[in-house]
């Protein structure tokens, strides 16, 4: 016994002297991960606090403070990733092996180890997000900010105006927000790639694609497979909407068989079209209700909008939001300071300091977005008992799908329960209802896909800076079938006018979410005992559905996502059959409408 000990001791001492690593033990790996988790937890809280203040009070100072806190978090993570390499080849129990893997995947922005470069990168990141937050749409030639529109005003014009000239002016003005970011973005890509390479990825896009419990190339193929499944539905919707818009705006504005001009679809990015529903509504089965009108007529204020959202989640048996949520959230756009209005949900201390930041307006769009944001919050709280490295959704598509799943339960029957409607309307006349949903959910799919098709190629270098804008529009035309309403050039940088590019938020998550939410909804509707067609099912008040949902949410990221999917749905593949089933009656109707009309562009 004594001898064996001595031999081992000598071996360790020699290994330490010559610098050659003895293989570390499982216990050392455990201790390393415990410390890593504690450190990441502290630094992430600090970075969140700084980011919160930056986003809700944009100034030069908050920008620098947020950048610095983010730099500390990223540098520490990169250092931990590098240290974790010494456990390569150690046979770890599954939980520790998963933590090791997730540590290496935990960044969405990697920074080079040179502190000057990591400082430059985090400063650029903070500056781009702030520039977006401060963005204004100014009419051509105007520089007086008082004559320009902020993002909420721009959103309203895009949703409500039916004058092509006015829409064009606002569209052009907002897209000008991107141009000054071009140089920064180019440098951002170089530095971020350098950081990604240092921790073992080919580039940032490869790093992002590695987060799905499968080889990155296989993930890219999965995404293509899903798109192929839903594409026929998108093509039918596109053809129908184009022909109706052509009736409205005339042959000079909307081509018979080409892409639709991107400013006519009710949204700055043409990413969801529900705001122009009335222009394409079926003539005999129009909308049974207009939620925006109802909310306005009831003088629903921002907090009340959030209360409606919370009430849905508590009806499932989930605990109410903490008091601090109501005290610390930002619900309305402040009059006297710049904020990032793009909606987001936070868990500042990774326990239950839950908040949303959103410039809420009483519209249907925001009513749904509130449910989306609260979905993040309820998910965040459900996994807060997991170890730090597992405090995330099964994959990022799950996080984005959660609240949308709940919002699919905002059915006419549910609106009757809220006292918003007298009667739920006749289910035999649901084409309008389905078309309206499709204008949101189906219209979004190609947009959700193309953003990262562009970014993946930008990060890999396949798209060089001198082709940033051209390729952006090639992809928008290829996938969405939309065209810029005025000529664009490389002096523009239109990707910068979409929040997630300057804010560096990966986007494939939303594409996945738009498929997953229908899969979730179908499973939960069954759990709730709904026998109606899927679009008439609401899980409001179903404790059984709530339990099923909660069991999945509590898992956080502790298991590969197919297991979480299985816990909720019994299926272990992402699959478009639910979204196709949901819209099957509409598909049939659209194909009838499209008889003899051109499809595609």
Active site residues: 342-343, 372-373, 376, 400, 500, 510
Non-local (6+) Cβ contacts of 419 within 8 A are none
Helices 115-133 and 26-56: angle between axes, nearest 10 degrees:
40
For residue 357, the minimal CB distance to ligand X8Z (Å) is 10
Q: Which is nearer to ligand X8Z, 359 or 590 (CB)?
A: 359
Q: Which is nearer to ligand X8Z, 214 or 343 (CB)?
A: 343
For residue 406, the minimal CB distance to Zn ion (Å) is 13
The 3-state DSSP class for residue 4 equals helix
Q: Which residue has the tokens 């140089």?
A: 183
Which of positions 91-150 make contact with Zn ion (CB under 5 A)?
Answer: none
Which of positions 263-292 make contact with ligand X8Z (CB under 6 A)?
Answer: 271
Q: Which is nearer to ligand X8Z, 81 or 181 (CB)?
A: 181
Residue 589 in the binding site for ligand X8Z (CB under 6 A): no
For residue 173, the minimal CB distance to Zn ion (Å) is 26
Residue 347 in the binding site for ligand X8Z (CB under 6 A): no
Q: Which of 249, 253, 205, 10 is nearest to 109 (CA)?
A: 205
The 3-state DSSP class for residue 498 equals coil
Q: Which of 24, 31, 39 is nearest to 80 (CA)?
A: 39
Query: How far is it, in rounded angstroms, from Cα 447 to Cα 74?
Result: 30
For residue 293, the minimal CB distance to Zn ion (Å) is 26
- Find which of ligand X8Z, Zn ion, none residue 338 binds, CB within 5 to 8 Å per kind: none
- Find which of Zn ion, ligand X8Z, none residue 240 binds, CB within 5 to 8 Å per kind: none
The 3-state DSSP class for residue 86 equals helix
Q: Which of 440, 261, 283 is nearest to 363 (CA)?
A: 440
- Find which of ligand X8Z, Zn ion, none residue 344 binds, CB within 5 to 8 Å per kind: ligand X8Z
Q: Which of 142, 118, 133, 115 is nearest to 62 (CA)?
A: 133
- Find which of ligand X8Z, Zn ion, none residue 369 binds, CB within 5 to 8 Å per kind: ligand X8Z
Burial class (CB in 10 A: 0-12, 13-18, 19+), 511: buried
Q: Buried b vs exposed e over 230-259: b needs ≥16 C-beta within 10 Å?
A: beebbbbbbbbbbbbbbeebeeeebeeeeb
Query: How far is it, in rounded angstroms, from Cα 558 to Cα 96?
Result: 10
Q: Number of residues interacting with ligand X8Z: please give it, by CB under 6 A.
A: 6
Q: Which is nearer to ligand X8Z, 343 or 351 (CB)?
A: 343
- Find which of Zn ion, ligand X8Z, none residue 538 binds, CB within 5 to 8 Å per kind: none
Residue nearest to ligand X8Z (CB): 343
- Find which of ligand X8Z, Zn ion, none residue 343 binds, CB within 5 to 8 Å per kind: ligand X8Z
Q: What are phi and psi of 25, to 5 degrees?
A: -90, 170
Q: 115: alpha, beta or left, given left = phi > 0 and alpha = psi -120 to 50?
A: alpha
Residue nearest to Zn ion (CB): 400
Tokens standing for residue 308: 């409606």
For residue 403, the minimal CB distance to ligand X8Z (Å) is 9
Max CA distance (Å), the chain:
93
- Find which of Zn ion, ligand X8Z, none residue 510 binds, CB within 5 to 8 Å per kind: ligand X8Z
318 within 8 A of 550, measured Cβ to Cβ: yes
Residue 510 in the binding site for ligand X8Z (CB under 6 A): yes
Q: Which is nearer to ligand X8Z, 111 or 330 (CB)?
A: 330
Burial class (CB in 10 A: 0-12, 13-18, 19+), 57: middle
Q: Which is nearer to ligand X8Z, 103 or 177 (CB)?
A: 177
Which of 65, 97, 202, 343 lies at the binding interface for ligand X8Z (CB under 6 A)? 343
For residue 511, the minimal CB distance to ligand X8Z (Å) is 9
Per-residue binder mask for ligand X8Z (CB under 6 A), 368-387, x = binder: -x--x---------------
For residue 309, the minimal CB distance to ligand X8Z (Å) is 13
For residue 344, the minimal CB distance to ligand X8Z (Å) is 6
End-to-end CA distance of the chain: 80
For residue 230, the minimal CB distance to ligand X8Z (Å) is 16
240 within 8 A of 458, measured Cβ to Cβ: no
C-alpha pair distances (Å), 365 with each of 209, 362, 489: 30, 8, 32
Non-local (6+) Cβ contacts of 596 within 8 A are none
Q: Which is nearer to Zn ion, 393 or 569 (CB)?
A: 393
For residue 509, the minimal CB distance to Zn ion (Å) is 8
408 within 8 A of 583, measured Cβ to Cβ: no
- Find which of ligand X8Z, Zn ion, none residue 208 binds, CB within 5 to 8 Å per kind: none
Q: Which is nearer to Zn ion, 405 or 469 (CB)?
A: 405
Q: Which is nearer to ligand X8Z, 267 or 300 (CB)?
A: 267
Which of positions 384-443 make contact with Zn ion (CB under 5 A)?
Answer: 400
Q: Which of 225, 581, 540, 523 is nearest to 401 (CA)?
A: 523
Q: Which is nearer to ligand X8Z, 36 or 230 (CB)?
A: 230
Which of 137, 169, 344, 471 lies at the binding interface for ligand X8Z (CB under 6 A)? 344
DSSP codes of every residue in 228-285: HHHHHHHHHHHHHHHHHHHHHH-TTTS-SSSPEETTSSSSTTSS--GGGHHHH--SSS
Query: How far is it, in rounded angstroms, from Cα 198 to Cα 175?
Result: 34
Q: Please report, as ranges, the residues that interact with Zn ion according to CB under 5 A.
A: 400
Q: Please report, as ranges, the residues that interact with ligand X8Z according to CB under 6 A.
A: 271, 343-344, 369, 372, 510
């Amino acid at each position: 016994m004594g001898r064996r000990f001595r031999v081992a001791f000598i071996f360790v001492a020699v290994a330490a002297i010559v610098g050659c690593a003895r293989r570390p033990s499982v216990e050392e790996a455990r201790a390393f991960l415990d410390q890593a988790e504690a450190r990441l937890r502290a630094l992430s809280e600090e970075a969140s606090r700084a980011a919160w203040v930056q986003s809700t009070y944009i100034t030069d100072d908050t920008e620098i403070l947020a950048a610095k806190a983010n730099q500390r978090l990223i540098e520490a993570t990169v250092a931990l990733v590098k240290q974790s390499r010494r456990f390569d080849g150690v046979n770890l129990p599954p939980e520790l092996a998963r933590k090791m893997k997730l540590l290496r995947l935990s960044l969405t922005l990697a920074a080079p180890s040179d502190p000057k470069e990591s400082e430059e990168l985090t400063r650029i990141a903070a500056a781009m997000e702030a520039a977006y937050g401060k963005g204004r749409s100014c009419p051509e030639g105007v520089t007086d900010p008082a004559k320009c529109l902020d993002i909420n005003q721009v959103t309203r014009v895009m949703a409500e105006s039916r004058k092509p000239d006015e829409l064009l002016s606002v569209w052009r003005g907002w897209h000008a927000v991107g141009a000054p970011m071009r140089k920064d973005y180019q440098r951002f890509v170089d530095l971020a790639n350098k950081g990604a390479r240092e921790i073992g990825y080919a580039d940032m896009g490869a790093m992002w694609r590695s987060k799905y419990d499968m080889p990155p190339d296989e993930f890219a193929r999965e995404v293509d497979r899903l798109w192929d499944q839903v594409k026929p539905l998108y093509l039918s919707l596109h053809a129908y909407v184009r022909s109706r818009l052509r009736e409205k705006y005339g042959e000079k504005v909307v081509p018979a068989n080409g892409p639709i001009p991107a400013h006519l679809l009710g949204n700055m990015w043409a990413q969801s079209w529900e705001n122009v529903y009335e222009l394409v509504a079926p003539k005999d089965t129009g909308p049974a209700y207009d939620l925006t009108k109802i909310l306005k007529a009831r003088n629903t204020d921002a907090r009340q909008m959030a209360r409606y959202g919370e009430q849905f989640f508590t009806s499932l048996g989930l605990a109410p939001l903490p008091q601090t949520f109501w005290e610390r959230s930002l619900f309305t756009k402040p009059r006297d300071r710049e904020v990032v209005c793009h909606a987001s949900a936070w868990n500042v201390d990774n326990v239950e300091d839950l908040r949303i930041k959103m410039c809420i307006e009483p519209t249907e769009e925001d009513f749904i977005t509130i449910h989306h944001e609260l979905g993040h919050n309820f998910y965040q709280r459900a996994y807060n008992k997991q170890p730090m490295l597992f405090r995330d959704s099964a994959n990022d598509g799950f996080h984005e799908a959660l609240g949308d799943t709940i919002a699919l339960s905002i059915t006419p029957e549910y609106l009757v329960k809220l006292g918003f409607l007298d009667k739920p309307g006749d289910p035999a006349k649901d084409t309008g209802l389905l078309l309206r949903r499709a204008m949101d959910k189906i219209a979004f799919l190609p947009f959700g896909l193309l953003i990262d098709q562009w970014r993946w190629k930008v990060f890999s270098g396949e798209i060089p800076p001198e082709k940033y804008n051209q390729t952006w529009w090639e992809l928008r035309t290829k996938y969405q079938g939309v065209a810029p309403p005025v000529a664009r050039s490389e002096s523009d940088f239109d990707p910068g006018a979409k929040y997630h590019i300057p804010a560096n938020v990966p986007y494939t998550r939303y594409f996945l979410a738009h498929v997953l939410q229908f899969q979730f909804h179908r499973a939960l509707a069954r759990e709730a005992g709904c026998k109606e067609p899927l679009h008439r099912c609401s899980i409001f008040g179903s404790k059984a559905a709530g339990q099923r949902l909660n069991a999945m949410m509590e898992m956080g990221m502790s298991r590969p996502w197919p297991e979480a999917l299985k816990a909720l749905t019994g299926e272990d593949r992402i699959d478009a059959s639910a979204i196709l089933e949901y819209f099957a009656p509409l598909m049939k109707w659209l194909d009838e409408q499209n008889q003899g009309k051109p499809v595609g562009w």
